[in-house]
Amino acid sequence: MRSVPGNLQVILAGLLLICSAHGQQPAASAQSGEAKPAEAQASAASTEELTKAVQNPISSLISVPFQNNNAFGIGPYDRTQDVLNIQPVIPVGISKNWNMITRIIQPIIWQPYPNSPTGGEYGFGDMVPTFFFSPKNAGKLIWGVGPQFILPTATDHILGQGKVSMGPSVVALISPKTGAIGVLVSNDWSIAGSGSRPSVNQMTLQYFLNYNFKKGWYLSTSPILTANWKATSGNVWVVPFGGGGGRVVKFGAQPFNINVQLFGNVVYPAGSSPWGLRIQIALLFPKAPKK
């Protein structure tokens, strides 16, 4: 068993590199004198706008998050699962009044054998593409709705469900000056795939609450609750509770969103993980969608 999973090593190395490089950036006064007040205000406004945009799952912001999730304490040997989600978010203006936001989640998984002190499987999990349709001028309540799919792209049977599944996905949020409050929920049912694999009926619900500070810093909680409606009584729900924080920073001209959250599962199936860690680094590309 690896003490630090390989996916997490990559994320941590990237996090340290970005933070180190950001800390070594020369001050504005070292290159062109002290920043003018108007320039400083524009820079602060840009950071604030980016921070608000990354907290809106259906904003007009292209982003490529690399999100590493560790689930600790699995099974009698306290194994650790490691899931690196590569999840690009691409908004496209499809008409004068509507955007389509495509979000694709491709997991790369280290799945330990829960009843063995060593060994496991490493590879791709099932791909999850979602397509949200959202009005460009939604008012105070920002919302989007569309189909979600689960595609059997797993490279080993224990890394995926072996089914093609689909269902609706809905996101809604409000964005006060101090942050964002919202919820994203989906439910998927299997419609095709291997007849030897169990059918799928599962819900995912993520609520998120963010409180923003100056210079891109923020506190956040965004646990992901899941319900496997096919599971036996007492093993249906995973209900995490926790949170953390992050910051929107620039490495050279490239903005990043860095976020770390820790969760304890107050409800979880027997033999699964009681707590987990999420570390995310997202590349941000603040461009308006084209019509």
Buried b (16+ CB within 10 A) or exposed e, 201-227: bbbbebebbbebeeebebebbbbbbbb
* Residue 162 belongs to some domain of the structure: yes
What does the pLDDT read at residue 193? 95
DSSP reduced 3-state for 92: strand
Yes or no: say if 240 and 261 are a contact pair by the CB < 8 Å rule. no
* Residue 276 belongs to some domain of the structure: yes
Chain centre distance of CA 71? 15
Residue whose pair of structure tokens reads 């926790």 in the numeric block: 242
Residue whose pair of structure tokens reads 């953390």 in the numeric block: 244
* Residue 1 belongs to some domain of the structure: no
Domain with 50 in it? 6-27+34-285
Indicate the pairing of strand 201-212 with strand 224-228: antiparallel
| CATH classification of the domain holding 139 | 2.40.160.40
* Residue 291 belongs to some domain of the structure: no
Global confidence as pTM: 0.85
Phi, psi of 28 (to 5 degrees): -60, -35
Q: pLDDT tens for the chain, 291 residues: list them.
A: 344 456 666 566 555 555 554 554 444 443 444 444 444 444 444 888 899 999 999 998 999 999 999 999 999 999 999 999 999 999 999 999 999 999 999 999 999 998 999 999 999 999 999 999 999 988 899 999 999 999 999 999 999 999 999 999 999 999 998 999 999 999 999 999 999 999 999 999 999 999 999 999 999 999 999 999 999 999 999 999 999 999 999 998 899 999 999 999 999 999 999 999 999 999 999 864 455
Residue whose pair of structure tokens reads 């959250």 in the numeric block: 261
CB within 8 A of 106, min separation 6: which ones? 85, 86, 87, 124, 125, 127, 153
Q: What is the Cα–Cα distance from 163 to 73, expressed in whole angstroms?
A: 28
* Residue 290 belongs to some domain of the structure: no
Tell me how many domains the chain contains.
Answer: 1
Q: What is the DSSP letter of 27?
A: P
Integer-rounded Cα Rg, in Å, for the chain is 20
Buried b (16+ CB within 10 A) or exposed e, 102-120: ebbbbbbbbbbbbeeeeeb
* Residue 15 belongs to some domain of the structure: yes
What does the pLDDT read at residue 17? 54
Yes or no: say if 142 and 173 are a contact pair by the CB < 8 Å rule. yes
Q: How many CB atoms lie within 10 A of CB 275?
A: 16
